[in-house]
Copies of this chain bind each other. A is one copy, B any other.
Amino acid sequence: MSGPRLEKYDIVIIGAGPVGLLLSTCLARWGYKIKHIDMRPEPTVTGRADGIQPRSLDLLRNMGLKRAIMAYSPAKVYEVAFWDPRQNGTGIHRTGTWKSCPSFIDARYPFTTLLHQGLIERVFIADLEKNNVRIQRPWKIFGFENDGADEEYPVSVSLSHVDGHESQTVRTKYLFSGEGAKSFVREQLGVKITHKDPIAHMKCTIHSDAGSIMVIPREANMVRLYIQIASSTDEDWSPRKSATTEEVQAAAKRILNPYWIEWDRIEWYSVYPIGQGIADRYTLDERVFMGGDCCHTHSPKAGQGMNTAFLDAQNLAWKIHHVETGFADRSILKSYESERRLIAENLLNFDSAYSKLFSQRQPSAGEVQDATKSAETGESQDNEFVKTFKESCEFTSGYGVAYDANIFNWSESHPAQHPLFLSEAKGRTKLRSGRILTPATVTRVCDANVVHLEQEIPLNGSYRIYLFAGKPSVTKNAVADFAYGLEKKSSFYSVYQRPDIDAVNYHERHHPHSNFFTISTVFNAYRPDIEIQEMLPELLVRYWDHIYADDVWDHRVPNAKAAAHAKMGLPEDEGGVVVVRPDGYVGCVVKLVHGSGTVDALNEYFGSFCVKPMGTTRAQL
C-alpha cells in the first residue's frame, strides 16, 4: 500500500479460458501464489467450446469438479449419426450411426458432455475463489522478459488494464500464456505456427450436395449447428467471408432438404474460417510457457480444442510443482513441450491419415459394427479399417493420448534398467507406459464402499503407487519386504518424507508420510477376509483409506477372480507394483518379489529424474 513495492508471484497466467483456468486451479490448490489476468471483462457469455470428452470428464472428476459441471444438466452424446445425399438428388438421408465411445474403450463415462464454455469456466472460477485467487479483468499483457535480474523470480511481466489507464510490472518464476489463438506472448517469442489443412474428417455430420452441417445437442434444449457457408474450392472463396444470420439459416435449410428447420431464437452466432495449426515451440526457456489454442488450433468440428487445453495444463501443473518443491530436476520441464506437442501433432496427423483412407466416404453401418466387434475381441488388428476406426474412437473420446517413452514413461531404453520392470511389449502387463491407468472397480476395506480405484487418489500432485498385492498368503513376505524397502532411509520414498511428519493429523488420507507419493494396496481377497492391521506392514496400514479388496466382478474379465489384477494384466496371485504419474498416466510397472528388488527398481526409476540421491544398495547401508 505504501509505495511501489515490486510484487512477486510464483506464476503469472494470461487468459482465463480452459487452459489457464485448469492450470491456475491446480497450482492454487497446491499453495502457489498466482497472478491470473484475462482481457475479457467477464467469463465467456455464449459460444466457444462446448464438448467435454469422456477422458476429460475423468480428469474433472479427479479434481472434484465433475459434480458442479453435471449440476448444469449438460447434454450427453452417446452416439453420432451420419447423413449423406441420396443418389437421386432428393436430399439427405441417414446412412449410419456410430457410438461416441464404443464399448471396446473402457471408459467410465462413455459419452461426450455438452455444455456452454462459460459454465465450465465458472466451475473453475468458483474453485479458484475458494483458494483466494481472483481473475483480474479486463487486463492484458504488454511486455515480458526472462531477464534473470532476480534469480528466484527471473521473469519480469508488464500488465495493464485494457483501457490503458493503469499498469503494473511484476516479477514471477513462471509466465504462462493461455491467451488463445491470438497470442501476444507467442508473437513476442517469435514462435511460428505451422498451418495444416483444415480437417476433412468430421464425425456427427450431415453431408449434402449443398454443404455440410454438424448438429450438437446442448444443455437446456439448445442445439448448436456448425453450418458450412463456403468451401475453399468455391470460385469466390475468401477466408474473410462474412454472412448474415439469414444467409446462414438459408444455407442450413438448403443442406437439410428434404427436412425443414425453424429457429425459436438464436443464442449465439459467429462466422469464422476453419484453420488448423501447431506452434513450433511451447516454450523457449522453460520459464515462459504457452498452452491451449495458443499452441494448437483445431477445427471446432474435431471437438479437441478445450480437451487438449485441459491436458496441456494438467501436464504442466505437476511438473512445475515437482520442480518448485525440490522433488524433481528442472530438466523435466522440457517434457511439457515434448509430450504435449506430440499429442497435438498426432491429432492433426491422424486426421489426415483418416481422411486419406476414407476419401470422404463414410463407412457403412455394417462396417462400423464389424469394426466395433473386431476391436472388442482384439481380432484382425492388421485390418487397416479396424485400426483406423479404433484410433478414431480413441482420439475423439480423449483416450488416444499416449505419451512416448521418456524419463517418466518407462521403456527398454529408460536409464533405469533393473530386470524387474515389466513391459506391455513383452506381455508381462497389459498396462502401457504413457497411457492412462485402466479403470477398475474395487471395495475399499475400511468402509466397504465400492469405489473406482483410478479415482481414489485425487489430482494432488503426487505419484500414485498401486501395490497390487495378489493373494495375501502368496505375497506375505513380498509385501513385508516392499514396506521394509520403502522404510529404508535411502529409498525414493523416505528421502522425500514430510519434514512435518510428527505433526501429521490422523485424518490425513493421502500424504501421511510423503507429500509426493500416495500408496494404495489392492489385495486379491474378499473384503471381510482382510484384516488391515494383521495383514499389512505398519507403513501401509497408515494409508488406511487406500486399502482395497479386488472382489468386484467385472464383465470385461468375467472369469477373473481378481478383476482389477486381471485388467492390469498382472498375475492374480503374485500381483505387481504400478507407478502412475500425478496426471493418471502409467509411469512404470514392476514385479513384486521377495527381497529388495521391487524397491530397488523404483529407486532407479525415481532416481533418474529426482533431485535427491537415493537407492544405495543393501550392501552399502
Interface members, chain A 412-444 (any B CB < 8 Å):
443
Q: How far is the CB of A91 from chain B (nearest CB, A)?
A: 16
Determine the distance from Cα of A76 to Cα of B221 in the docked complex, in whole angstroms.
Answer: 34
Say whether, besides A71-B67, A555-B555, A448 and B79 are in contact (CB < 8 Å): yes
Residue of B nearest to A98 (CB): B528
Q: How far is the CB of A559 from chain B (nearest CB, A)?
A: 14
Determine the distance from Cα of A78 to Cα of B527 in the docked complex, in whole angstroms.
Answer: 12
Determine the distance from Cα of A606 to Cα of B98 in the docked complex, in whole angstroms.
Answer: 43
* Contacting pair B528 A78 (CB below 8 A): no
Say whether, besides A71-B67, A97-B528, A78 and B221 are in contact (CB < 8 Å): no
Contact of A323 with B by CB under 8 A: no
**Interface of A, helix, strand, loop or mixed by DSSP:** mixed
Contact of A193 with B by CB under 8 A: no
Copy total for this chain: 2
- In the complex, which of the residues B110, B221, B447 contacts A507, with contact meaning CB atoms closer than 8 Å? B221
Contact with B along A179-204 (1 / 0, CB 8 A): 00000000000000000000000000
Contact of A77 with B by CB under 8 A: yes
Say whether, besides A67-B67, A67-B71, A70-B67, A449 and B111 are in contact (CB < 8 Å): yes
Contact with B along A134-148 (1 / 0, CB 8 A): 000000000000000
Q: How far is the CB of A126 from chain B (nearest CB, A)?
A: 13
Residue of B nearest to A97 (CB): B528
Contacts of A221 in B (CB 8 A): 507
Contacts of A111 in B (CB 8 A): 449
Contact of A365 with B by CB under 8 A: yes
* Contacting pair B450 A78 (CB below 8 A): yes
Interface members, chain A 506-564 (any B CB < 8 Å):
507, 527-528, 553, 555
Q: How far is the CB of A217 from chain B (nearest CB, A)?
A: 6
Say whether, besides A70-B67, A507-B221, A77 and B528 are in contact (CB < 8 Å): no
- In the complex, which of the residues B67, B76, B97, B555 contacts A449, with contact meaning CB atoms closer than 8 Å? B76
* Contacting pair B97 A448 (CB below 8 A): yes
Question: What is the size, in residues, of chain A's interface with B at 8 Å between Cβ atoms?
Answer: 26
Residue of B nearest to A96 (CB): B528
Q: How far is the CB of A71 from chain B (nearest CB, A)?
A: 6
Residue of B nearest to A78 (CB): B448
Contact with B along A7-50 (1 / 0, CB 8 A): 00000000000000000000000000000000000000000000
Residue of B nearest to A528 (CB): B97
* Contacting pair A528 B365 (CB below 8 A): yes
- In the complex, which of the residues B70, B75, B447, B507 contacts A78, with contact meaning CB atoms closer than 8 Å? B447
Contact with B along A97-130 (1 / 0, CB 8 A): 1010000000000110000000000000000000
Interface members, chain A 485-521 (any B CB < 8 Å):
507
* Contacting pair A217 B528 (CB below 8 A): no
- Could you say which of A450, A507, A528 has the most chain B C-beta atoms within 10 Å of its C-beta? A528
Contacts of A555 in B (CB 8 A): 553, 555
Contacts of A76 in B (CB 8 A): 447, 449
Q: How far is the CB of A274 from chain B (nearest CB, A)?
A: 26
Q: How far is the CB of A358 from chain B (nearest CB, A)?
A: 20
Contacts of A553 in B (CB 8 A): 555
Contacts of A217 in B (CB 8 A): 447
* Contacting pair B77 A447 (CB below 8 A): yes
* Contacting pair B70 A449 (CB below 8 A): no
Residue of B nearest to A221 (CB): B507
Determine the distance from Cα of A507 to Cα of B264 in the docked complex, in whole angstroms.
Answer: 11
Determine the distance from Cα of A64 to Cα of B97 in the docked complex, in whole angstroms.
Answer: 31
Determine the distance from Cα of A76 to Cα of B451 in the docked complex, in whole angstroms.
Answer: 11
Contacts of A97 in B (CB 8 A): 448, 527-528
Residue of B nearest to A507 (CB): B221
Residue of B nearest to A446 (CB): B217
Determine the distance from Cα of A221 to Cα of B446 in the docked complex, in whole angstroms.
Answer: 13
Q: How far is the CB of A98 from chain B (nearest CB, A)?
A: 9
Contacts of A79 in B (CB 8 A): 447-448, 527
* Contacting pair A449 B528 (CB below 8 A): no
Residue of B nearest to A509 (CB): B221
Determine the distance from Cα of A415 to Cα of B77 in the docked complex, in whole angstroms.
Answer: 46
Contacts of A110 in B (CB 8 A): 450
* Contacting pair A78 B365 (CB below 8 A): no
Contact with B along A553-580 (1 / 0, CB 8 A): 1010000000000000000000000000
Interface members, chain A 208-240 (any B CB < 8 Å):
217, 221
Contacts of A443 in B (CB 8 A): 78
* Residue contacts A-B, CB under 8 angstroms, 6 given: A67-B67, A67-B70, A75-B447, A77-B447, A97-B448, A97-B527
Apart from A67-B67, A79-B447: 14 A-B pairs, beta carbons within 8 A: A67-B70, A75-B447, A76-B447, A78-B443, A78-B449, A78-B450, A79-B448, A96-B528, A97-B527, A99-B448, A111-B449, A221-B507, A365-B528, A553-B555
- Residues of A near any B CB (own CB < 8 A): 67, 70-71, 75-79, 96-97, 99, 110-111, 217, 221, 365, 443, 447-450, 507, 527-528, 553, 555
